[in-house]
């Protein structure tokens, strides 16, 4: 009887404590650990009540602002791992500390439409060299680190895309190159991105296809305290990682960088301020933007447009010695006419650069490639 009374009193005390805590404490706007904005109190309107949206939003708010939320998330993760779970919030808890994102399931009808938009694009840009770098994800390169029973299907996806892309597009598959070098630790264990070293090996392959003679590069570690999106998604924070940048030899040219929509100009492709934030991968270019114009002193007479996802961000700084202009386009944020831009900048080369997961999920590229 005493035990039942104790449990009842403890439950009542806890239920009283939660609303008092939430009322007394300011809402947390941003979760550093999860690297996302947290829900705020939803607005109470007649339409939100009758439509049911208010209760859904309020439930999300309570979940995000729950007292000691980070501790609760950590306890939940520990309990799940203790029961043998090796898959938490779309993240595989792999071997040797690898946290590997679940692969996106390829809808081949959708993928074929996307690839066909690239095929039509190359027909619309006569005289422009078009290349396509499709980058495998951690799940393929480090498939041996996946937990028992999990496997990668990315080779099949890459093979399918290569068969459907036009022979007018130079499709560069770097899978074998990266697998051969995998023991060098080419992908982050706690993030969904690849490392600069992987980007460099990919650049060497790209350079060979383009007839480029690579210059010398210097590599610098800029932080040793990176924990990426896979840590945030899974709640596993057991490893800190090093972020390395790669730059051409200091004696080789200079460049300026313009963030077009933001009205910002700089002389660096790296944003050191991002090293003080959770997502330290954003040190490359400062993150993702609709259009970034890079003007160099290369004097090669060639201008490159990169249409890309975030995997390209650590790859782009390697390219400055070889192009007079590098126009970086992220279709997720770009709403202008791509063909007008190609003509205005005298683009000689276009590079599509996507990781496989990003490509099969994309819902922006087809729109910007459609000719109005």
Domain closes at, from 97, 120, 146: 97
Would you tell me how many other CB atoms lie within 10 Å of the CB of residue 235?
22
- Percent of the chain's residues with pLDDT above 70: 77
pLDDT per residue as tens digits for the range 185-209:
999 999 999 999 999 999 999 999 9
Q: How confident is the model at residue 101 (pLDDT cuts 50, 70, 90)?
A: very high
Query: What whole-number distance in Å separates Cα of residue 175 and Cα of residue 19?
Result: 53
Q: How confident is the prediction for the chain on average, in pLDDT? A: 87
Q: What is the pLDDT of residue 49?
A: 63
| Residues 155 and 70 grouped into a single domain | no
| Same-domain pairing of 335 and 351 | yes
Strands 291-296 and 255-259: antiparallel
Give the count of domains, the chain: 2
pLDDT at 339 (0 to 100) = 98
Question: Residue 233: pLDDT band by 50, 70, 90 thresholds?
Answer: confident
Residues 83 and 164 placed together within one structural domain of the fold: no
Question: Are 199 and 285 in the same domain?
Answer: yes
Please indicate, yes or no, whether residues 68 and 130 belong to a single structural domain of this protein: no
Instruction: List b or e across 165-196, with b for residues whose CB sees 16 or more CB atoms inside 10 angstroms.
Output: bbeebbbbbbbeebeebeeeebbbbbbbbbbb
Residue 266: what pLDDT? 97
Same domain assignment for residues 109 and 21: no
Is the pLDDT score of 69 beyond 90? no
User: Residue 142 pLDDT > 70, yes or no?
Assistant: yes
175 confidence band (pLDDT: 50, 70, 90): very high
pLDDT in tens, 236-293: 888 999 999 999 987 678 899 999 999 999 999 999 999 999 999 999 999 999 999 9
Assess whether pLDDT exceeds 80 at residue 3: no
Residue 364 pLDDT more than 80? yes
Range 154-178 average pLDDT? 97
Residues 150, 221 within the same domain: yes
Domain that holds residue 89: 2-97
Mean predicted confidence (pLDDT) in 210-221 = 96
In the chain, the N- to C-terminal Cα span, in Å, equals: 77
What pLDDT sits at residue 60?
64
pLDDT, average across residues 335-346: 97
Question: Do 86 and 173 lie in a common domain?
Answer: no
């Amino acid at each position: 009887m005493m035990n039942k009374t104790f449990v009842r009193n403890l439950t009542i005390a806890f239920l009283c404590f939660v609303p008092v805590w939430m009322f007394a404490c300011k809402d947390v706007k941003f979760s550093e650990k999860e690297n996302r904005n947290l829900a705020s109190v939803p607005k109470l309107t007649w339409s939100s009540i009758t439509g049911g949206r208010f209760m859904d939003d309020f439930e999300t708010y309570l979940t995000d602002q729950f007292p000691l939320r980070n501790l609760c998330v950590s306890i939940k993760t520990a309990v799940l791992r203790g029961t043998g779970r090796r898959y938490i919030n779309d993240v595989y808890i792999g071997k040797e500390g690898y946290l590997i994102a679940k692969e996106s399931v390829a809808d081949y009808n959708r993928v074929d439409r996307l690839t066909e938009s690239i095929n039509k694009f190359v027909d619309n840009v006569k005289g422009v060299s078009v290349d396509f770098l499709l980058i495998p994800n951690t799940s393929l390169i480090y498939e041996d680190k996946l937990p028992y029973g999990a496997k990668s299907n990315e080779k099949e996806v890459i093979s399918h895309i290569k068969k459907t892309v036009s022979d007018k597009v130079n499709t560069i598959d770097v899978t074998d190159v990266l697998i051969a070098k995998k023991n060098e630790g080419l992908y982050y264990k706690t993030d969904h991105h690849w490392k600069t070293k992987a980007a460099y090996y990919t650049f060497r392959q790209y350079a060979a296809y383009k007839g480029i003679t690579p210059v010398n590069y210097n590599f610098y570690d800029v932080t040793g305290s990176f924990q990426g999106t896979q840590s945030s998604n899974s709640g596993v924070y057991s490893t800190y990682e090093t972020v390395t940048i790669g730059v051409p030899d200091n004696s080789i040219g200079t460049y300026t960088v313009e963030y077009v929509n933001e009205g910002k100009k700089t002389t660096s492709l790296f944003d050191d301020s991002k090293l003080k934030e959770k997502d330290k991968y954003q040190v490359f270019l400062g993150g993702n933007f609709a259009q970034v114009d890079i003007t160099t002193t290369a004097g090669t007479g060639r201008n490159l447009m990169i249409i890309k996802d975030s995997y390209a961000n650590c790859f782009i700084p390697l390219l400055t010695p070889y192009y007079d202009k590098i126009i970086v386009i992220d279709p997720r944020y770009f709403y202008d006419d791509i063909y007008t831009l190609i003509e205005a900048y005298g683009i000689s080369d276009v590079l599509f650069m996507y990781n496989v997961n990003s490509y099969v999920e994309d819902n922006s590229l087809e729109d910007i490639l459609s000719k109005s």
